[in-house]
Amino acid sequence: MTELICPAGTPAALRTAVDAGADAVYCGFQDATNARNFPGLNFTADELARGVSYARSRGTKVLLTINTYPPAGKVDLWRSAADVGAHVGVDAFIVADMGLADYVARAHPDIRLHLSVQAAASSPEAIRYYCKHFGVKRVVLPRILTIPEIRQIRREIHCEIETFIFGNHGLMVEGRCSLTNYLTGQSTNMDGVCSPASDVEYVQDEDGSMCSRLGGFTLDCIGAGEKAGYPTICKGRYIGSHRPEGYYAFEEPVSLNLSHLLPELIEAGVDALKIEGRQRSKSYVRTVVSAFRSALDDIRHGQTPNIADLVALTEGQKETRGAFETKRWR
Amino acid sequence: MTATLTLGPIPYHWPAQAKCDFYARIADEATVDEVYLGEVVCSKRAPFFEAHLPDVISRLEQAGKAVILSSLAEVTLKRERKATVELAELERPEVEINNVGGLYARAGRSHRIGPFMNAYNEATIGWMARQGASHICLPIELPAKAIAIAAKTARDLRLGVEVQVFGRASLAVSARCYHARAHGRSKDNCQFVCEEDPDGMPLQTLDHRPILRINGIQTLSESYIDLLAETGPLMKMGVSHLRLSPQAVDMVAVSHLYRHCMDGKISVTEAKRKLQALCAGVPLSNGFFHGEAGYRQIAMDAKR
């Protein structure tokens, strides 16, 4: 049965996701050990312990995200995150760094290891490497593959496959992006931050247009009344030699929404479907998780799922099926 | 304490003849000891230069340069998987692996770890060494404090350890080709439009501030990394190899500046002044090394 994997940025979001029908929730600690190291988000050890017990009593799994890359000299923080997770009884670790994977596989061999999307394992050979050496049980695939490619990978590997279906649409290969660090001095890989709010500013012009900046660099300017997504470098608008008018050089401010493709994903052999958004509100989590829960239940019962509500939730009301539907996206 | 100067793979899609001419000059004139060859960015580009590769390798080797073949950073398609496996199966020259799929195919035989491999820390470097790595190129964004610890680990394990000291920083890779996108095309019908931009396609912010360069599926920094002033500290930390990444400037002259500066034949101040003149119009930066925003240029005490 295909699992629904849901974001838990806070203890309240965890309970909400569990109540809304998540098969598993994923969460991280309040530090650089996970890729959503944002102020006001994530868990203390005590909160995680309570979260695990709440989830477990309702039959939901808890996956601990330790998916950033420890810089030399700071490895212990990542190891102790795993140790605490093991102590409170999480169901799996989601990791990317090889040194950490090696540690976790040896120190906590009874806890499942999932390969984070931050490891960017996009070929059967890469996935097999992690399975062979660290006993990885599930790989979270990068958001760059078409469904036929996912089906092909499924045939060539033995571990489970998890794919993102909804939320932020990462453009760059995860775990290989230093764009934020280039403008802000804070690293996505080492600090767990992407376009940190502390470095974002909005400047309003007299004509009512609004410019967003990161680290002092303008990322976009939009007219009065237009809706804008959160400013990130890969959704910014730039002037290119052939595009003097300014254009979204990497991607428009769109969100990923694969609700239309759920049957195909399941048929391709995907074991778990992941909703992005640990930075999202409790009510967002409730709405999205409930909608996908009933969609998956409908599919299981041979019915056509109703997913109209999900479209309205996507960033700036614009959605994409990204790489999944066609190679032309590339 | 000194270090080996290396020339990284050419990141851009230069015409095959331009690459041949470039390497002929490198062989004859550049003060680099090791040269990395091969297409690391886009598998579609590889066939253009493949036929010339054996000649270029022997030309460089005859000139006394060691040659290492670098593998693709992003591996998804069949042809990319095949290319990666074939490279991983080579007995010689040495290979530098940039994707985990290549590590799987290499199966423990000796290899170098490329800059795309995320060797951020001592535990990962130790793991890689146990799996046959002989040499590690550290990630471009690693700050000095972490470089020092990583370099010590690598040296203790008798590995070579390398840091890029010149050229645009690779900031991101993607499955999507942004060169094709800029021209309203997709990757499959790109018509190799990236060839028009031998130093990357510049992007400016809407208020006309240069920010990034597009190179096919890769996003590069606008600035050239320049760690001339940091070569001394890097060598003291035990970094054994310093990498120059080829850009559309006089790379022979760049190699001389770095070599002379490392050997104490010219002062850092003079070398930097000359480098700035060589790279006219392109900002230089060293922010990553100093734990600051990568585009920044942080003043170092120029005296040694």
pLDDT at B137: 98
Pair of tokens at residue A242: 């052939």
**Chain A residues near residue B298 by CB distance under 8 angstroms:** none
Q: Which of residues 290-309 of A touch B (CB under 8 A)?
A: none
Query: Does residue B219 lie within any of the structural domains?
Result: no
Query: What secondary structure does DSSP assign to A298-315, as a single string?
Result: HHHTT-----HHHHHHSG
Query: Does residue B76 lie within any of the structural domains?
Result: yes
Instruction: Count structural domains, chain B.
Output: 1
pLDDT at A244: 95
Query: Does residue B218 lie within any of the structural domains?
Result: no
pLDDT band of residue A144 (cuts 50, 70, 90) is confident
Burial class (CB in 10 A: 0-12, 13-18, 19+), A319: buried
Closest partner residue to A217 (CB to CB) among B145, B173, B205 is B205
Query: Does residue B211 lie within any of the structural domains?
Result: no
**CATH number assigned to the domain comprising residue B140:** 3.20.20.70
Query: Does residue B130 lie within any of the structural domains?
Result: yes
Q: Which of A57-61, A244-248, A259-263 has the lowest mean pLDDT?
A: A259-263
- Per-residue model confidence as pLDDT tens digits over B186-230: 999 999 999 999 999 999 999 999 999 999 999 999 999 999 999
Query: Does residue B179 lie within any of the structural domains?
Result: no
pLDDT at B302: 42
Mean pLDDT, chain B, rounded, equals 96
pLDDT band of residue B181 (cuts 50, 70, 90) is very high
pLDDT at A308: 73
- Per-residue model confidence as pLDDT tens digits over B18-38: 999 999 999 999 999 999 999
Q: What is the ipTM of this complex?
A: 0.97
pLDDT at B23: 98
Q: Which of residues 100-159 of B touch A (CB under 8 A)?
A: 100-105, 116, 118, 120-128, 131, 139-143, 145-150, 153
User: Does the pLDDT at position B12 exceed 90?
Assistant: yes
The 8-class DSSP code of residue A138 comes to E
Residue B91's domain spans which residues?
4-168+225-285
CA-to-CA distance for B229 and B286, rounded, in angstroms? 9
Q: Give the best residue of B104, B221, B286 to mutate against chain A (max A CB count within 10 A).
A: B104
Q: Which of residues 240-259 of B touch A (CB under 8 A)?
A: none
Query: Does residue B116 lie within any of the structural domains?
Result: yes
User: Is the CB of residue B196 less than 8 Å from the CB of residue B14?
Assistant: no
Average pLDDT over residues A236-247: 95
Helix, strand or coil, per DSSP, at residue A147? helix
Average pLDDT over residues A21-43: 96
pLDDT at B304: 39
Mean pLDDT, chain A, rounded, equals 93
Average pLDDT over residues A112-141: 97
pLDDT at A226: 78
Query: Does residue B189 lie within any of the structural domains?
Result: no
Q: Find, among B7, B90, B10, B88, the residue nearest to B42 by Cα.
A: B10
pLDDT at A312: 66
pLDDT at A229: 79
Pair of tokens at residue B106: 């290499």
First-to-last alpha carbon distance for chain B, in angstroms, is: 13
pLDDT at A314: 61
Q: Find, among B199, B237, B164, the residue nearest to B5 by Cα.
A: B164
Pick the more confident residue, B91 or A229: B91
What are the percentages of helix, strand and coil residues in chain A, rounded to 5? 40, 20, 40
pLDDT band of residue A324 (cuts 50, 70, 90) is confident
Structural domains of chain A, with CATH: 3-169+254-329 (3.20.20.70), 181-248 (no CATH)
